[in-house]
């Protein structure tokens, strides 16, 4: 930051966070100070003065900024902008209301080289979105080296930075903390006390009392999990203001209500087979829910209901309740949890997937292996009906292949071929030349691919392909199905994405079987097939190959393919494609979210395509609100607004799941509103005053605690006090992926980040700690890496420690399958035996079992009481080849052969205090054997140590019985001669060998 750069408001006024509410009065008065020495006319002619005047003239208030023509925000978005600019705070909005535009304008307002704004905790798609909308000269990429990052920080602008890099740079003071204008935190609902983001904010607020902190979140439900989640999050963010924007907010309703799109609900009835299967699956779920509550009467399972079992967030609810007591549950409960997840996947497959795929999935759970490892639901009559009905959906009464088409296929075809063209004629006239643009929204890539294949190839051909892919035996086809397949036109060329290799059914089944009966984290994990990401695309663009006047032919042959695909969609811009092919109707298949663009994918597609019609093939709360916001931005008259068609199975699990998600979000916002009305927020919570006790370091307090104060009062009345030095802990750079450095700093210890090769934490010159999580411990023991690490620690440190740390959200329990992580294989069964061998090999190694990082931080603090501080240079040099010498010696000592060093330490009488003297003065092993006992005692500086070493080198010792088990000769010699001389032992061994001959 140069001296001529404009001063940021956050550096001038502590209570003002905006770049706008400044007047140029104070600045010009400072600039006119040198006027006594230099003439004013000459000063005004300089380029610097002119530039400063122009910059000061451009300073506007937040309200004036919103009046600019290039700022297009809805009324509630303007209010969000004003709230967040005028004061620090946490903004929680409903899904789909999109605070992205608000944040984008905040970033634009601070886009200046005189400001340094950091954006943390952003996902990849969020970072790409904001970078594409901002001026590139103000957005800087994070450099790879520390020197380059220091230069980039000084240049100012806006930086999207990973929190791990930011924490290290803040600790090493590579970044000018006092010059940071502010920090913006995304996905604020994920900020917990021990996370890296909270660590960075604490370091920032300790040194910068004037910069702003603004946090954003669109997940109200996340704040309802746990006790006082919203208060704890605000405390970790150092903000005092909470802004709540639900969908039922009066301002939001007044903005969206006048511009509502035309919506048409089409209730599609389920087929009789699908209705029966849904009923039977719900019956089994109800039975399992009652069973799990009967078995665990003492566990709070209020949220485990059939209604929640079919919703998307069920696995998170169950994991939050059962994770901490998972090791206490019996095997039957664990089986029921696994089966509830399986039944939910069967329900989803029946409702949304085609009949062949659903049958292939259900058939997996009919095998012998799964029958022996489930809770018993497969033996129920309802389960037998599910298997029977699923097969009947694929094969008819004569066991001929005649799959049942999806219930929504026919209504979708009628919409595309009849209703939408008819509506276009009524709207634009019979002779109109406007071609319809239709956007079909699906819940996932699998459904998107299914519709694309159906529209381009027809239903029968697609179902046959699915049967071949899932290895369903087709056998004989029914006459009806064969006739429908032959009546199809030649299929259009498929997308490039569909040409990718397909995994066989056996591979999918083996992967599914491997993950069926794993522990809770794996039971409740991702539910999609591993091949989905490779096989299915997230977006397709289709067009009609026939004109609509042939509607009569379409009615006679509903499965005739009249659509073809654009395989170049990935390479082309959608808006450019629409412009180039204006005479063709467009049908775009799109998922609600994409991996590349996240939740902004739908908004981008709407802006580029500008569709006339939207078909909601699946229901989604966020997508519906994004459509509302898009229509409110366009502000079109009613006749020109897009029409939205909802294809929904009324009174089914699909409708119930949608209503449940709405109810959950509403209740979450009501809870947050109620919490805000009762919340007590201290004035010092923002950390901008010295009263923020959460930033106090107990070791900086000169008075200390009562006991230390009383003790010092006896020393000249407390007059001669020395300020307590802040304890330091050297932390390896790779350890900043964990929560422990944050918690160590929170307890008042100074964290020194360094790249060290021996140990993870250096507490004192003698204490070195190697931290291992459970999964890391298992991997290190199996690979032998932990043995080498312990060798290095014992060689260089007097008190090596192996810290085995458990997850704070998991039980402190090391028995059964749980301690073996997710892989319960035979290679992990001997973990305890390997730990025992480790302690035998390294007698000085101490094992510490910690239930959580919080307990570890407290332990480190206690271990450092009244202990000397570690030397950073020595800790770094130890891993670089230098060896540790005598206590108090320098690093430039003689270097020893590690093998000889370790061998000598294993001899009686030799330890770390005298081994260095022995290595320097003892010569070689031959010279050592020639020395007398008195000379050895002088070398080792101890008569007792000298006698022990001389005895081991010159006196023969008979081994104990247990040490020579299996050797008949040695056992016989031991029994006969006891502890006799070396010659007797040799004679007994020779006699034994002669007897064998």
Provide the pLDDT for residue 929. 86
Provide the pLDDT for residue 406. 95
Listed residue (214, 206, 349) closest to 750, CA to CA: 206
Measured CA to CA, the distance from residue 745 to residue 749 in angstroms comes to 5
Mean pLDDT, rounded, for 890-896: 43
Greater pLDDT, 360 or 893: 360
| DSSP codes of every residue in 166-185 | HHHHHHTT-S-GGG--EEEE
HSE-up (13 A, CA, CB side) for residue 274: 26
pLDDT confidence band for 15 (50 / 70 / 90): very low
Residue 727: DSSP 8-state? P
Q: Which residues, listed in sequence order, are joined to residue 216 by a DSSP beta bridge?
A: 91
According to CATH, the superfamily of the domain at 898-954 is 5' to 3' exonuclease, C-terminal subdomain (1.10.150.20)
| Per-domain boundaries in the chain | 60-240, 270-393, 407-475+561-666, 728-812+828-878, 898-954, 966-995
Per DSSP, the chain holds a count of helices (H) and strands (E) of 47, 20
The answer on pLDDT for 968 being more than 60 is no
pLDDT tens sequence across 646-677: 999 988 999 988 998 999 999 999 999 999 99
Burial of 583 (0-12, 13-18, 19+ CB in 10 A): exposed
Measured CA to CA, the distance from residue 156 to residue 334 in angstroms comes to 54
Measured CA to CA, the distance from residue 306 to residue 340 in angstroms comes to 10
Provide the pLDDT for residue 698. 54
821 and 828 in contact (C-beta within 8 Å)? yes
Measured CA to CA, the distance from residue 674 to residue 450 in angstroms comes to 45
Whole-Å CA distances, 271 to 293, 318, 389, 615: 33, 32, 11, 21
Listed residue (209, 190, 230) closest to 681, CA to CA: 230
pLDDT tens sequence across 317-337: 777 777 777 777 888 888 898
Mean pLDDT, rounded, for 485-490: 54
Q: What is the dihedral of CA 396, 398, 399, 402, to 10 degrees?
A: -40
Provide the pLDDT for residue 252. 96
Measured CA to CA, the distance from residue 757 to residue 460 in angstroms comes to 63
Q: Where are the beta strands (DSSP E) in 431-488?
A: 437-442
Task: Give the angle subtended at the CA of 783 by the CAs of 778 and 786, to the nearest 5°.
Answer: 70
Greater pLDDT, 973 or 917: 917
Q: Class of 407-475+561-666 per CATH? A: alpha beta
The answer on pLDDT for 980 being more than 50 is no
Whole-Å CA distances, 349 to 122, 313, 387, 401, 435: 33, 17, 13, 20, 35
Greater pLDDT, 930 or 41: 930
Mean pLDDT of the residues in the chain? 78
Greater pLDDT, 978 or 898: 898
| DSSP codes of every residue in 142-156 | PPSSHHHHHHHHHH-
Residue 987 CB contacts under 8 Å (≥ 6 apart), including other chains: none
Burial of 54 (0-12, 13-18, 19+ CB in 10 A): exposed
Residue 288 CB contacts under 8 Å (≥ 6 apart), including other chains: 336, 339, 340, 343, 375, 377
| Topology agreement, domain 407-475+561-666 and domain 898-954 | no
Rg for the chain, CA atoms, rounded: 37
Listed residue (228, 253, 470) closest to 362, CA to CA: 470
pLDDT confidence band for 142 (50 / 70 / 90): confident
188 and 216 in contact (C-beta within 8 Å)? yes
Mean pLDDT, rounded, for 787-798: 89
Provide the pLDDT for residue 585. 83
Q: Give me the helices (H) in 911-981, please.
A: 915-921, 925-930, 933-940, 943-954, 968-977
Provide the pLDDT for residue 389. 95
Greater pLDDT, 820 or 374: 374
The answer on pLDDT for 13 being more than 60 is no
Look at residue 218 and give its three-state secondary structure: coil
262 and 641 in contact (C-beta within 8 Å)? yes
Provide the pLDDT for residue 309. 80
Strand order, beta sheet including 761-762: 750-754, 728-732, 761-762, 767-773, 799-805, 846-850
Handedness of CA 414, 415, 419, 424 (dihedral sign): negative
Mean pLDDT, rounded, for 394-401: 90
Handedness of CA 872, 874, 879, 884 (dihedral sign): negative
pLDDT tens sequence across 710-730: 444 444 444 444 456 789 999
Measured CA to CA, the distance from residue 441 to residue 451 in angstroms comes to 10
84 and 109 in contact (C-beta within 8 Å)? no
Measured CA to CA, the distance from residue 469 to residue 507 in angstroms comes to 12
Q: Are strands 643-648 and 262-267 parallel, antiparallel or unpaired?
A: parallel
Measured CA to CA, the distance from residue 66 to residue 552 in angstroms comes to 55
Q: Give me the helices (H) in 266-393, please.
A: 272-295, 306-309, 314-322, 331-352, 355-364, 368-371, 381-392
Provide the pLDDT for residue 76. 95
Q: Give me the helices (H) in 15-74, please.
A: 25-31, 40-44, 47-57, 62-66
Q: Class of 728-812+828-878 per CATH? A: alpha beta
Look at residue 960 and give its three-state secondary structure: coil
Greater pLDDT, 288 or 552: 288
Provide the pLDDT for residue 831. 81
Measured CA to CA, the distance from residue 478 to residue 718 in angstroms comes to 100
The pLDDT > 70 percentage for the chain reads 73
Provide the pLDDT for residue 574. 62
Whole-Å CA distances, 791 to 3, 803, 836: 54, 15, 16
Residue 547 CB contacts under 8 Å (≥ 6 apart), including other chains: none
pLDDT tens sequence across 545-564: 543 333 333 333 444 456 66
Residue 451 CB contacts under 8 Å (≥ 6 apart), including other chains: 412, 440, 442, 589, 617
Provide the pLDDT for residue 970. 45
Look at residue 288 and give its three-state secondary structure: helix
The answer on pLDDT for 887 being more than 50 is no
For 391-412, letters b (16+ CB in 10 Å) and e give bbbbbeeeebbbbbbbbbbebb
pLDDT confidence band for 407 (50 / 70 / 90): very high
Mean pLDDT, rounded, for 128-141: 91
Measured CA to CA, the distance from residue 149 to residue 189 in angstroms comes to 29
Q: Give pTM, 2 decimals.
A: 0.76
Measured CA to CA, the distance from residue 615 to residue 606 in angstroms comes to 13
CATH of domain 60-240: 3.40.50.300
Longest dimension (CA), the chain: 120
361 and 349 in contact (C-beta within 8 Å)? yes
Measured CA to CA, the distance from residue 420 to residue 635 in angstroms comes to 22
Provide the pLDDT for residue 494. 35
Greater pLDDT, 413 or 24: 413
pLDDT confidence band for 502 (50 / 70 / 90): very low
Mean pLDDT, rounded, for 260-289: 94
| DSSP codes of every residue in 889-927 | --TTSPP--HHHHHHHHTSTT--TTTHHHHHHHS-SHHH
Crossing angle between the packed helical segments 653-678 and 621-634, to the nearest 10 degrees? 70
Q: Are strands 586-591 and 539-544 parallel, antiparallel or unpaired?
A: antiparallel
The number of beta carbons lying within 10 Å of the beta carbon of residue 51 is 12
pLDDT tens sequence across 39-88: 555 544 566 556 655 655 556 788 888 888 788 899 999 999 999 999 99
The answer on pLDDT for 825 being more than 60 is no
């Amino acid at each position: 930051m140069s001296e001529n750069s404009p001063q940021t408001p956050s550096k001038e006024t502590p209570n003002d966070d905006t770049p706008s509410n400044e007047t140029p009065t104070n600045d010009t008065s400072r600039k006119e100070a040198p006027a006594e020495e230099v003439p004013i006319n000459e000063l005004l002619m300089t380029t610097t003065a002119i530039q400063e005047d122009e910059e000061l003239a451009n300073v506007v208030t937040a309200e004036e900024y919103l009046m600019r023509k290039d700022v297009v925000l809805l009324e509630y978005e303007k209010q969000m902008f004003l709230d967040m600019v005028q004061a620090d705070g946490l903004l929680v909005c409903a899904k789909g209301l999109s605070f992205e535009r608000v944040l984008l304008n905040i970033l634009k307002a601070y886009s200046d080289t005189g400001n340094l704004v950091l954006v943390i905790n952003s996902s990849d798609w969020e970072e790409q979105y904001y970078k594409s909308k901002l001026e590139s000269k103000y957005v800087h990429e994070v450099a790879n080296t520390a020197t380059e990052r220091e230069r980039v920080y000084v240049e100012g602008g806006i930086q999207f930075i990973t929190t791990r890099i930011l924490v290290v740079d803040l600790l090493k003071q590579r970044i000018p903390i006092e010059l940071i204008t502010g920090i913006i935190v995304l996905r604020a609902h994920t900020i917990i006390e021990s996370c890296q983001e909270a660590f960075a904010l604490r370091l920032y607020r300790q040194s910068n009392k004037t910069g702003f902190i603004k946090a954003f979140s669109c997940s109200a439900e996340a704040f309802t999990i746990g006790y006082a989640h919203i208060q704890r999050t605000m405390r970790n963010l150092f903000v005092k203001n909470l802004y709540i924007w639900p969908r039922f907010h009066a301002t939001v309703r007044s903005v969206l209500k006048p511009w509502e799109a035309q919506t048409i609900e089409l209730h599609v009835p389920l087929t009789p087979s699908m209705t029966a299967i849904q009923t039977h699956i719900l019956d089994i779920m109800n039975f399992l829910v009652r069973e799990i509550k009967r078995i665990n009467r003492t566990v709070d399972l209020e949220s485990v209901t059939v209604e929640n079992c079919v919703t998307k967030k069920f696995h998170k609810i169950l994991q939050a309740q059962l994770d901490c007591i998972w090791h206490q549950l019996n095997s039957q409960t664990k089986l029921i949890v696994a089966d509830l997840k399986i039944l939910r996947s069967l329900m989803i497959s029946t409702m949304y997937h085609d009949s062949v795929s659903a049958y292939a999935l259900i058939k997996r759970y009919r095998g012998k292996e799964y029958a022996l490892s489930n809770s018993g639901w497969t033996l129920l009559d309802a389960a037998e009906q599910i298997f029977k009905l699923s097969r009947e959906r694929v094969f008819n009464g004569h066991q001929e292949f005649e799959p049942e088409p999806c219930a929504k296929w026919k209504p979708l075809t009628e919409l595309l071929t009849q209703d939408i063209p008819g509506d276009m004629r009524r709207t634009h006239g019979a002779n109109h030349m406007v071609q319809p643009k239709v956007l079909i929204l699906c819940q996932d890539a699998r459904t998107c691919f299914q519709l694309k294949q159906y529209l381009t190839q027809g239903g029968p051909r697609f179902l046959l392909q699915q049967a071949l892919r899932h290895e369903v035996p087709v056998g004989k086809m029914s006459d009806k199905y064969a006739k429908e397949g032959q009546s199809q036109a030649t299929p259009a060329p498929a997308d490039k994405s569909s040409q990718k290799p397909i995994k066989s059914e056996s591979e999918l089944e083996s992967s599914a079987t491997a993950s069926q009966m794993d522990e809770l984290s794996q039971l409740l994990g991702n539910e999609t097939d591993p091949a989905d990401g490779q096989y299915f695309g997230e977006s397709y663009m289709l067009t009609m190959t026939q004109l609509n006047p042939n509607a009569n032919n379409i009615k006679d042959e509903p499965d005739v393919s009249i659509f073809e695909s654009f395989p170049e969609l990935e390479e082309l811009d959608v808006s450019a494609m629409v412009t180039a092919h204006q005479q063709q109707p467009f049908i775009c298949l799109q998922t609600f979210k994409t991996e590349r663009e996240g939740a902004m994918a739908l908004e981008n597609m709407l802006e580029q395509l500008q569709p006339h019609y939207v078909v909601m093939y699946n229901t989604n709360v966020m997508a519906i609100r994004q459509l509302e916001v898009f229509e409110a931005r366009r502000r079109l008259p009613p006749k020109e607004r897009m029409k939205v068609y909802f294809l929904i199975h009324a009174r089914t699990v699909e409708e119930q799941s949608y209503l449940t998600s709405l109810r959950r979000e509403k209740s979450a916002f009501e809870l947050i509103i109620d919490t805000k009305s009762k919340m007590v927020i201290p004035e010092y919570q923002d950390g901008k005053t010295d009263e923020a006790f959460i930033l106090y370091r107990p070791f900086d307090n000169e008075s200390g605690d009562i006991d230390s104060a009383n003790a010092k009062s006896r020393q000249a009345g407390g007059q001669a006090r020395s300020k307590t030095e802040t304890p330091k802990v050297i932390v390896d750079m790779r350890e900043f992926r964990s929560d422990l450095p944050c918690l160590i700093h929170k307890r008042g210890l100074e964290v020194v980040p360094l790249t060290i090769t021996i140990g993870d934490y250096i507490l004192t010159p003698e204490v070195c700690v190697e931290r291992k999580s459970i999964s890391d411990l298992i991997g290190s023991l199996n690979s032998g890496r932990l043995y080498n690490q312990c060798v290095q620690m014992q060689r260089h440190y007097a008190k090596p420690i192996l810290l085995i740390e458990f997850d704070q959200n998991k039980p402190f329990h090391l028995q059964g399958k749980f301690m073996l992580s997710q892989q319960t294989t035979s290679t992990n069964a001997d973990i305890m035996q390997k730990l025992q061998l480790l302690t035998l090999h390294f007698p000085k190694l101490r094992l510490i079992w910690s239930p959580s990082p919080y307990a570890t931080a407290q332990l480190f603090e206690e271990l450092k009481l009244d202990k000397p501080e570690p030397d950073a240079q020595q800790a770094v040099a130890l891993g670089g080849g230098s060896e540790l010498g005598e206590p108090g010696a320098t690093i430039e000592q003689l270097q020893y052969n590690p093998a000889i060093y370790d061998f000598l330490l294993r001899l009686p009488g030799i330890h770390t205090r005298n081994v260095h003297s022995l290595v320097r003065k003892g010569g070689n092993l031959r010279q050592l054997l020639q020395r007398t006992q008195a000379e050895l005692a002088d070398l080792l500086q101890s008569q007792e140590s000298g006698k022990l070493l001389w005895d081991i080198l010159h006196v023969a010792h008979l081994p104990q019985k247990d040490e020579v088990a299996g050797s008949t000769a040695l056992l016989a010699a031991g029994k006969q001669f006891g502890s006799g001389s070396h010659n007797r032992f040799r004679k007994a061994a020779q006699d034994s060998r002669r007897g064998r001959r």
